[in-house]
Amino acid sequence: NAGVMQNPRHLVRRRGQEARLRCSPMKGHSHVYWYRQLPEEGLKFMVYLQKENIIDESGMPKERFSAEFPKEGPSILRIQQVVRGDSAAYFCASSPYRASSSYEQYFGPGTRLTVT
Amino acid sequence: TQLLEQSPQFLSIQEGENLTVYCNSSSVFSSLQWYRQEPGEGPVLLVTVVTGGEVKKLKRLTFQFGDARKDSSLHITAAQTGDTGLYLCAGRKVGNQGGKLIFGQGTELSVKP
């Protein structure tokens, strides 16, 4: 039973380039979440998606960041015109349920983005 | 301001000792999870607690959810070097219709032989 898959594991981009991070949820999971972990900071929520729907994007920066979870294929977190401050570990998590009291999320290994 | 405060932030102990990590908030949570994260990896779910006063045991680890569902603790008995890692509490606030988790800043545990 494969866990949450993320690729690439490491990504280096120059300032101004685009970064695309991919996440395949666990089998049977239809809900995906993206979190960012900045150096010396905790994990911060970015966005919550179901297939073809953005449910909660309250943690997404207003500009340059977008996310999608198409009917077919992985979820994509896209960062346009990257800046040095975007350097961080980006984690994807998935769950089988919508909000329930016994709600659980399972995390992937993360993508480490470095902007030079 | 941190919605979930973890303490201590750093803990260095000898193998065989006991320890407790705390996760506190002024907000009520509908559920709370504990994760362990190793360098270069994603958080691994240890336990979920949902009922006020609930106690769950996972081998040498004991997790407790406060009666008012505002706080939680993780107690490790007879720590081993393999317990070394970053321990994170994360909760879903009552009234949050979405799925987002709010994380504490973590407790970095080092168990020395």
> Tens of pLDDT along B52-107?
999 999 999 999 999 999 999 999 999 999 999 999 999 988 777 667 899 999 99
Q: Are B30 and A101 within 8 A, CB to CB?
A: yes
Give the pair of three-digit tokens for residue A47. 């966005």
The pLDDT value given to residue B38:
94
Contact A90, A34 (CB under 8 A): yes
Q: Is B105 on the interface with A (CB under 8 A)?
A: yes
Write the secondary structure of B49-113 as one string of H (helix), E (strand) and C (coil): ECCCCCEEEECCEEEEECCCCCEEEEEECCCCHHHCEEEEEEEEECCCCCCCCEECCCEEEEEEC
Q: Are B48 and A103 within 8 A, CB to CB?
A: yes
Contact B108, B27 (CB under 8 A): no
Whether A57 has a pLDDT exceeding 80, the answer reads yes
The pLDDT value given to residue A103:
65
The pLDDT value given to residue A78:
98
Whether B40 has a pLDDT exceeding 60, the answer reads yes
CA angle B97, B100, B106 (to 5 degrees): 140
Task: Say what percent of chain A tops pLDDT 90.
Answer: 76
In the block, tokens 């706080």 appear at B71
Test the B interface: residue of A43, A48, A56 with most B CBs within 10 Å: A43
Q: Closest partner residue to B100 among A41, A56, A91, by Cβ?
A: A56
> Tens of pLDDT along A61-95?
999 999 999 999 999 999 999 999 999 999 999 98
